């Protein structure tokens, strides 16, 4: 029995079971520990008191990921951002820590912005320590699809 050759259908079954188990584990790991997408910053930097972002500048469309980097100057107390949802889905705006992904304390995420809606938000820069952050869409799955871009707080933007 020890020298009996393995039948091809048995080998195929074992291989299919192994591949299936690998896929189940990979899907589970991705759901439990979602990876942050690569943040490109969209190639431009926005700074100043009054900024405007539409849905696709926010970093989400079918062709590109990552919106423009936003630089919050520590010499400015508040930054006003106007969000325009030009898409068909609900969206929001939240600032999270770059190192942990945790929401930045003291800043509330926006209520969800409906299609065609414009929302004005004020960010108190004096509540955010200088450093690297991301701004994201907190709608489930949107961050993983690319609605994430750098948000930096520093002097001299």
More confidently predicted of 78 and 106: 78
Tell me what pLDDT residue 36 has.
47
Counting residues of the chain whose pLDDT is more than 70, the rounded percentage is: 77
Per-residue pLDDT reduced to its tens digit, 39-95? 444 568 888 889 888 876 665 554 455 678 899 998 988 899 998 888 888 888 889
3-state secondary structure of 11: helix
The β-bridge relationship of strands 94-97 and 131-136 is antiparallel
Tell me what pLDDT residue 153 has.
93
d(CA 56, CA 37): 16
Look up the CATH number of domain 41-154.
2.60.40.420
CATH 2.60.40.420-classified regions of the chain: 41-154
pTM value? 0.67
């Amino acid at each position: 029995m020890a020298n009996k050759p393995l039948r091809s259908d048995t080998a195929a079954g074992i291989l299919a079971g192994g591949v299936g188990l690998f896929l189940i584990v990979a899907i589970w790991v991705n759901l439990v520990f979602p990876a942050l997408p690569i943040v490109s910053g969209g190639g431009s930097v926005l700074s100043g008191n009054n900024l405007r972002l539409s849905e696709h500048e926010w970093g989400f469309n079918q062709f590109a990921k990552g919106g423009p980097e936003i630089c919050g100057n520590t010499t400015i107390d508040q930054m006003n951002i106007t969000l325009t949802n030009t898409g068909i889905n609900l969206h929001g705006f939240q600032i999270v820590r770059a190192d942990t992904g945790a929401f930045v304390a003291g800043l509330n995420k926006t209520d969800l912005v409906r299609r065609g809606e414009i929302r004005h938000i004020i960010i108190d820069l004096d509540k955010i320590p200088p450093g690297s952050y991301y701004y994201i869409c907190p709608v489930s799955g949107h961050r993983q699809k690319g609605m994430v871009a750098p948000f930096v707080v520093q002097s001299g933007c």
